[in-house]
Amino acid sequence: MKVSVRVPATTANIGPGFDCLGLALPIYNEITVEETVMPGSGIEINIIEDIDTYDVLSIPKDENNIVYKAIELLYNYIGQSVSDIKITIKTNIPVARGLGSSAAVIVGGLMAANELLGKPADEAVLLSIASEAEGHPDNVTPALVGGFCVSSIEDDGSVTYSKIDWPQDWKLTIIIPDYELDTMIARSVLPENVTIKDASFNIRKCAMLIDAVYRHDSELMKKCLKDKIHQPYREELIKGFKEVTQLCENKEDILGCVISGSGPAILIISKNDGFEKTENEINAIFNDLNVNLDIRTLTVENQGSIVV
């Protein structure tokens, strides 16, 4: 028996919502888990690339693979050891670009294994295990349930989340550069402590951002995407981010520009034809930096992960 699950990409943080805000996007990985027929055959992990421009050679194909590790946590939850399994990852989400590729395969592996086991884990358990495997809930929550999510890991390891309707006329444009940025490197540049002033700034902006989305308030949204906890430290690692941010600040129909997750992808939120009017200028910025781009304007994926 085998089960396949389709999981969306995600963009996290959305500016001030460090490790708690996330959006699901219609770019997908498909993860298939099957119990092997031959006892003692061990673990088999196969990776299939839909797009050959993204390097997946560095992804482990043994017990160190994050999909296997997440599945192992699920088996431990029900008091079992992992049986001999075959995992196939069909990847279309760019790796190490800030689009939740690791969250997608974790969620997909957990959902598929849960189906194979007869669904012993409910959504709450899956979210808790996925967040433990990933380290934070901002990507795994929208990857599982879709949409725009505010999420938090509680002291007992459970995840509390709220899903809020994203305004349909707010467009999401992802600028994906042709180089990777390892999440560990992007986290290593962050300070261990932040000032009360900076924390207070982010709390205000994050609260207003959620309200702006809920009330579909474009003018308020323009004021909410600033951040002082992670972007000032990461922007030095992301070519063109400062220039694109400055460009977007002067455009009427662009609501804001933020780092997608830990980068190096950049998320631009716009309405009407705001991005289309600016695209040539953005391309010129990256041409000067000799950076090739994959630019995608997308809607929100509201369904989340599904068994296919």
How would DSSP label each residue in 100-124?
A: -HHHHHHHHHHHHHHHHTTS-S-HH
Token output for 42: 């061990």
pLDDT at 94 over 80: yes
pLDDT at 252 over 70: yes
DSSP SS3 for 25: strand
pLDDT at 175: 96
d(CA 281, CA 53): 25
The CATH number for 171-298, chosen from 3.40.309.10, 3.40.50.1370, 3.30.70.270, 3.30.70.890, is 3.30.70.890
Q: Is residue 65 very low, low, confident or very high in pLDDT (cuts 50, 70, 90)?
A: confident
**Listed range (63-72, 141-150, 248-257, 260-269) with the worst mean pLDDT:** 63-72
pLDDT at 45: 79
Q: Is residue 285 very low, low, confident or very high in pLDDT (cuts 50, 70, 90)?
A: very high
Residue pointed to by tokens 């050679």: 57
CB proximity list for 24: less than 8 A, separation 6 or greater:
8, 9, 10, 142, 143, 146, 147, 149, 300, 301, 302, 304
User: Residues 164-214: pLDDT tens digits?
Assistant: 999 999 999 999 999 888 888 989 999 999 999 999 999 999 999 999 999
Token output for 155: 């002291």
For the entire predicted model, the pTM comes to 0.91
**Listed range (59-73, 230-244, 294-308) with the worst mean pLDDT:** 59-73
The domain spans of the chain are: 2-165+301-307, 171-298
pLDDT at 287 over 90: yes
Task: Look up the CATH number of domain 2-165+301-307.
Answer: 3.30.230.10
User: Residues 212-249: pLDDT tens digits?
Assistant: 999 999 999 999 999 999 999 999 999 999 999 999 98
Alpha helices in 62-151 (DSSP H): 66-77, 101-116, 123-134, 140-145
User: Residues 103-126: pLDDT tens digits?
Assistant: 999 999 999 999 989 999 999 999
d(CA 7, CA 25): 10
Q: Is residue 53 very low, low, confident or very high in pLDDT (cuts 50, 70, 90)?
A: very low
Percent of the chain predicted with pLDDT > 70: 94
171-298 and 2-165+301-307 share a CATH fold: no
pLDDT at 68: 87
Q: Is residue 62 very low, low, confident or very high in pLDDT (cuts 50, 70, 90)?
A: low
pLDDT at 269: 97
Average pLDDT over residues 263-267: 96
pLDDT at 6: 97
d(CA 16, CA 258): 9
